């Protein structure tokens, strides 16, 4: 005996002011009696602080409580019987009821390293004390309400950047300091989660040959614990825009498709925040490069130059 939930939309994407519709499908070898079929919608922000996170002492580890968003149970069918074979039981539930204040704002679905915003719908066939209840759950995805989104199309906001030996805060190889380099360009500082990250880059001068130019996308998750803030920065995507030395004065386009499952609109809530940033990394040819073919993009190396730009992600209609 088993039950499953099949939602009306194959992509499982809904907005808070819409109805969650679908079917509970029961596959039974024999008919059973039940004490009611219930559907529970649960949404929460789950916060996790891992030991060793900068700025957080060990005693705070694992004590952050989830932030409830919605928790609602409705009865789909009263007590009765379900016949043998395959039975489909339709349901429709309004996610955000008008006139009722939910516990929290409906944030968009997000799965990060320390912060997870998740929405689940659970179906249960209650069978009393002598029989085990049948239950199943499935995750659905929440996106922002269309009415709350900006009316006008969002134009990407550009910020100009310059990368030279004087703008670097970490130690550089002597040959990089003496030879010098200058890279300029512009990149988005605000764009829609559905649009590509665009910009351009020009190598104006470099005394040392360039090995590669990469665009790193970082996710910055912050959790407030008492008077301390735990911050975790994670690299979620790397896009190489140049392999090998680059012609001086040639403008290179920056065009990066954002990963839908790893991003969401930027959030600044009281107890937590989810932000993003773009880092342009220039790797120069040297003996050190051969010794360290793999590297952590969060850790600057002496044979690299980099520049970070905050990135605000928004959703449009």
Cβ atoms 124, 40 nearer than 8 A: yes
Beta strand residue intervals within 85-133, DSSP E: 85-94, 110-111, 115-125
Give the helix ranges, DSSP H, for 226-302.
Answer: 287-291
In eight-state DSSP terms, residue 65 is P
- CA–CA gap between residue 170 and residue 282 (Å, rounded): 14
- CA–CA gap between residue 198 and residue 283 (Å, rounded): 21
- CA–CA gap between residue 117 and residue 44 (Å, rounded): 6
- Burial of residue 103 (number of CB atoms within 10 Å: 0-12, 13-18, 19+): exposed
* Structure confidence at residue 154 (pLDDT): 60
What is the dotted CATH code of the domain comprising 2-146? 2.60.40.640
pTM of the complete model = 0.83
Instruction: Write out the residue limits of the CATH 2.60.40.640 domain(s) in the chain.
Output: 2-146, 157-314
Cβ atoms 190, 157 nearer than 8 A: yes
* Structure confidence at residue 130 (pLDDT): 75
- CA–CA gap between residue 22 and residue 33 (Å, rounded): 23
Q: What tens digit of pLDDT does each residue of 222-260 get?
A: 998 878 888 999 999 999 999 999 999 999 999 999 988
* Structure confidence at residue 103 (pLDDT): 54
* Structure confidence at residue 43 (pLDDT): 93
Cβ atoms 257, 263 nearer than 8 A: no
* Structure confidence at residue 59 (pLDDT): 46
Cβ atoms 41, 138 nearer than 8 A: no
Write out the chain's pLDDT in tens, 317 residues: 789 999 999 999 999 888 999 999 999 888 888 889 999 999 999 988 875 544 444 445 555 788 999 999 999 999 999 899 999 999 999 888 665 554 568 999 999 988 999 999 999 998 877 788 889 999 999 998 766 665 555 667 899 999 999 999 999 988 888 888 999 999 999 988 889 999 999 999 998 899 999 999 999 999 988 788 889 999 999 999 999 999 999 999 999 999 888 899 999 988 899 999 999 999 998 877 777 666 677 788 888 999 999 999 988 76
* Structure confidence at residue 250 (pLDDT): 93
Q: Which fold has domain 157-314?
A: Immunoglobulin-like (2.60.40)
3-class SS shares of the chain: helix, strand, coil, % to 5: 5, 55, 40
* Structure confidence at residue 120 (pLDDT): 96
In sequence order, which residues have a C-beta less than 8 Å from that of residue 52 and are 6 or more positions away? none
């Amino acid at each position: 005996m088993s039950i499953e939930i099949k939602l009306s939309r194959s992509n499982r994407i809904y907005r808070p002011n819409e109805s969650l519709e679908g079917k509970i499908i029961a596959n039974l070898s024999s008919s059973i009696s039940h004490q009611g079929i219930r559907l529970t919608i649960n949404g929460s922000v789950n916060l996790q602080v891992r030991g060793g996170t900068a700025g957080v002492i060990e005693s705070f580890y694992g004590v952050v409580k989830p932030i409830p968003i919605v928790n609602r149970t409705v009865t789909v069918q009263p007590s009765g019987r379900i016949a043998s074979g395959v039975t489909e039981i339709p349901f429709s539930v309004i996610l955000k009821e008008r006139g009722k204040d939910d516990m929290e704002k409906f944030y968009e679905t997000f799965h990060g390293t320390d912060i997870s915003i998740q929405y689940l719908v659970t179906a249960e066939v209650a069978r009393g004390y002598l029989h085990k209840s049948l239950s199943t759950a499935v995750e659905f995805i929440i996106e922002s309400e269309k009415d709350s989104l900006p009316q006008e199309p969002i134009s990407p906001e550009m910020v100009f950047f310059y990368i030279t030996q004087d703008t670097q805060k970490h130690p550089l190889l002597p040959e990089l300091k003496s030879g010098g380099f200058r890279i300029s360009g512009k990149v988005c500082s605000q764009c829609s989660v559905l649009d590509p990250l665009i910009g351009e880059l020009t190598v104006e001068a470099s005394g040392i040959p360039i090995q590669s130019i990469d665009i790193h996308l970082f996710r910055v998750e912050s959790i407030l614990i008492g008077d301390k803030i735990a911050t975790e920065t994670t690299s979620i995507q790397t896009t190489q825009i140049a392999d090998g030395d680059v012609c001086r004065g040639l403008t290179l386009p920056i065009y990066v498709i954002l990963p839908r499952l790893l991003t969401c609109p930027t959030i600044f809530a009281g107890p937590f925040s989810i932000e993003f940033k773009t880092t342009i990394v220039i790797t120069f040819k040297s003996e050190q490069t051969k010794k360290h073919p793999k590297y952590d993009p969060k850790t600057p190396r002496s044979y690299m130059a980099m520049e970070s730009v905050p990135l605000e992600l928004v959703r449009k209609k």
